Amino acid sequence: MQIEAIILREVRMELRAPFETSFGVTRERRVPLIEVRADGVSGWGEITAPEGPFYNYETIDTAWHIVRDFIAPLLLGRKLGSACEVPAVLAAIRGHQMAKAGVENALWDVEAQQKGLPLAKLLGGTYEEIVCGVSLGLQATTEALLSKIDTELKAGYQRIKIKIKPGKDLELVRAVREKFPQVKLMVDANSAYRLADVEHLKKLDDYYLMMIEQPLPWDDMHEHARLQAQLQTPICLDESIHHARHALAAIESRACQIINVKLGRVGGHTEARRVEEVCRARSIPVWCGGMLESGVGRAHNIAMSTLAGFVLPGDVSASQRYWEEDIIEPEVEVTPAGTIRVPTAPGLGYAVRRQRVEQLTVRQETWRAQ
């Protein structure tokens, strides 16, 4: 494939409900969408960098800068045999995985369309349906949280993840367990605790949680290993894992027992497959995390979740949980059994609604091969 043009758009999409984590509240998403044209085919990717540098260091604007000044010049006009060659081309750029992932994933969409294959198949995925859970933000009251959980379970979702932070943890978990003793339940702290909180965190062991996600600092694996040695509840790493070597280090140092894979955080499908491979070879379960994606990012998440190592329900759920109207057709829907049927059409398997994208676009830049 010869890369002819890269188009970067920022679309604004209002969430149906604010999403609160230990690092802040998101009401509206500014979504950077990548369209790559190669051999006359358009492929789509989403840059999952958030509005501010609070989840990782990337933001929408750092990603814009990295795509414009470094990624586009390296890729434009270049001929690639496959999208899996992109990481090698971009290797000189340190970090900025989310910016790289948006562009690389768009090329995977191009390649899948050219080969007439659904993206999931091109990636080597095998599942025809993926299992889904939901991630619930911090709520104003415990009653509000319990009622949301009730709604999601009635919709079929197979596991519930709740956000916690100091002062909003044990009572929440206790209340959820009391009302829903059987539900597959996990908590995500988004790095809100310190190793000194170990005695407090040990109390979570009474509630048979599936896992606690990223309790300690985003860049500290050693302390997670120290914590895991004292906790019965499995630790799952999210923020700390940026590539397959991190996954290996985390497993070998026993910093976690489960890994959350996010395409943006690890730099795209090629590296996500490596993470999955490292984990599967060592019997470490993985699941697909979410970054409040639009339909484009969601479609990529669905394709990735079909790899064999994705054995736990992911944070990939229906478009309607996030948006009044998504930018893809059909929207992502979840079956009453809490699964998503993997599309079988070539490429992403969902069509990007260009008109809708245009209506929502607030800025756009195009770079062309000379």
- Where in the sequence numbering do the catalytic residues fall? 163, 262
**315 binds Mg ion, rule: CB under 5 A:** no
Nearer to ligand OSB, 110 or 187 (CB): 187
Q: Count the helix, strand and coil residues of the chain and give each as a percent rounded to the nearest 5.
A: 35, 25, 40
- Residue 59 makes CB contacts below 8 A (sequence gap 6+) with 49, 50, 51, 52, 53
Return the SS3 of 217.
coil
Report which of 33, 35, 34, 40 is spatially closest to residue 2, judged by C-alpha positions. Answer: 40
Site for ligand OSB in 31-60 (CB under 6 A): 55
Read off the DSSP letter of residue 183: S
Residue 315 contact, options ligand OSB, Mg ion, none, Cβ 5-8 Å cut-off depending on partner type: ligand OSB
CA–CA gap between residue 53 and residue 43 (Å, rounded): 27
Beta bridge partners of 12: 30
Nearer to ligand OSB, 107 or 157 (CB): 157
Site for ligand OSB in 169-228 (CB under 6 A): 188, 190
- Residue 128 makes CB contacts below 8 A (sequence gap 6+) with 306, 341, 342
- Closest contact distance (angstroms) between CB of 240 and Mg ion is 10
Nearer to Mg ion, 289 or 349 (CB): 289
**238 binds Mg ion, rule: CB under 5 A:** yes
The amino acid occupying position 173 is V
Question: What is the enclosing helix (H) or strand (E) of 225?
Answer: helix 221-228
- Closest contact distance (angstroms) between CB of 260 and Mg ion is 6
Site for Mg ion in 148-207 (CB under 5 A): 188
Report which of 93, 100, 95, 92 is spatially closest to residue 36, judged by C-alpha positions. Answer: 100
Nearer to ligand OSB, 55 or 310 (CB): 55
- Closest contact distance (angstroms) between CB of 186 and ligand OSB is 11
**289 binds ligand OSB, rule: CB under 6 A:** yes
Beta bridge partners of 33: 9, 46
Q: Which stretch binds Mg ion (CB under 5 A): 8-16, 101-109, 233-241, 336-344?
A: 233-241
**290 binds ligand OSB, rule: CB under 6 A:** yes
**109 binds Mg ion, rule: CB under 5 A:** no
**295 binds ligand OSB, rule: CB under 6 A:** no
Applying CB under 6 A, among 10, 46, 111, 315 the residue interacting with ligand OSB is 315
Nearer to ligand OSB, 118 or 290 (CB): 290
**133 binds ligand OSB, rule: CB under 6 A:** no
Q: Which long-range contacts (CB under 8 A, 24 or more apart) does 141-146 make?
A: 142/171, 142/172, 142/175, 145/172, 145/175, 145/176, 146/175, 146/176, 146/179
The amino acid occupying position 19 is F
- Closest contact distance (angstroms) between CB of 26 and ligand OSB is 7
Token reading at 194: 């310190």
Length of the chain: 370
Applying CB under 6 A, among 42, 113, 135, 294 the residue interacting with ligand OSB is 135
| Residues near Mg ion (CB under 5 A) | 188, 213, 238
| Residues near ligand OSB (CB under 6 A) | 55, 135, 188, 190, 238, 289-292, 315
